[in-house]
Amino acid sequence: MNDAILQRRSLLVLLVLVTLAFIWILLPFYGAVFWAVILGIVFAPLQRRLQLKFGWQRNLTSLCTLSVCLLIAILPVIIIGVLLVQEGMVVYKNIESGQLDIAAYIAQFKHSLPPYFQHLLDRFGMGELNGLREKIVKSAMQGSDILATQAFSFGQGTFEFLVSFFIMLYLLFFFLRDGAELARKMRTAVPLAEQQKRRLQLKFNRVVRATVKGNLLVAITQGALGGAIFWFLDIPSALLWAVLMAFLSLLPAVGAGIVWAPVAAYFLLTGAIWQGVVLGLFGIFVIGLVDNVLRPILVGKDTKMPDYLILISTLGGLAIFGLNGFVIGPLIAALFMSSWAIFIETKPRVQLP
């Protein structure tokens, strides 16, 4: 018996060591592996439907699913990213050259405020426009340098990016083809009851699909609508603001309103009444209602977490994992809640005398 226990413990130590070593060698490409897993989960239903409908070989079905994923999920992100970098560099150059004078807009906004608010800004040291103009120019120059550095770094790291990209596609193909079998093997290795393992797996899949498919589509819709109204009102850098609104739409209690609402207020205070009214009404009754209409349909009430938990976990995930954190954060929070719920349900109850 002692030999059996010793062998079991030795095997567990070996498993821990080789698992940590395996994770260590995957760290340089963790983003590629992560998104291959996420996209594999999101597009697994399409893979199963194609398999059932046409009865193709698994390789052919996986290749077709991978092509659909590439066309509707990956290529648009790459194209928008390139356009966003180009437009961002143009904005920074216009600020640096003085063609886009943000300080002038702020001065106009300040003078449009009631005297009480102007006095309040002066009291907090925010009314000195000359100093504000210098800070904006300095920030623009720093932003230009950062953007140029990042662009240069991206140029140097193009080979690494391409390697990671093709690793993601390669892994995604096999996750689509063999994902169900891999999931069954992982469930077998987890030392929990079958019902508990199934519950955690379902929660994992639902949160991933809700975050990527649901929240991301809502964010894209709100960003696209916001960019369209900004373009209609001839607001500069509409694409840049559209991406910012889409990103902020991922955060409950923040949303795209943090972008369009100040712009609408600026229009109203500076005399551009019809632009302010149109933007305000469009923001409230079109952009704002998208979240209330689409999110329950795409996400589903049974998979939603409290807004405060989504907000905290998303911000924490973004702070730790970067852009990948908008999926990792809510996923960890959901598994945290599910694990504790299982623990509480299975905990032996103390019988009082």
Domain ranges of the chain: 28-179, 192-344
Below-70 pLDDT ranges, the chain: 1, 95-114, 116-158, 252-254, 295-304, 347-353
Tens digits of per-residue pLDDT, 219-236? 888 889 999 999 999 888
Residue 331: per-residue pLDDT: 83
* Res 350: pLDDT: 46
3-state secondary structure labels for all residues of the chain: CHHHHHHHHHHHHHHHHHHHHHHHHHHHHHHHHHHHHHHHHHCHHHHHHHHHHHCCCHHHHHHHHHHHHHHHHHHHHHHHHHHHHHHHHHHHHHHHHCCCCHHHHHHHHHHHCCHHHHHHHHHCCCCCHHHHHHHHHHHHHHHHHHHHHHHHHHHHCHHHHHHHHHHHHHHHHHHHHHHHHHHHHHHHHCCCCHHHHHHHHHHHHHHHHHHHHHHHHHHHHHHHHHHHHHHHCCCCCHHHHHHHHHHHCCCCCCCCHHHHHHHHHHHHHCCCHHHHHHHHHHHHHHHHHHHHHHHHHHCCHHHCCCHHHHHHHHHHHHHHHHHHHHHHHHHHHHHHHHHHHHHHHHCCCCCCC
pLDDT of residue 114: 66
Which pLDDT value is given to residue 170? 92
pTM for the model? 0.72
Q: What is the pLDDT of residue 48?
A: 87
Instruction: Summarize pLDDT for 22-67 with one digit per residue, the tens.
Output: 889 888 888 889 889 889 988 888 888 888 887 778 888 889 999 9
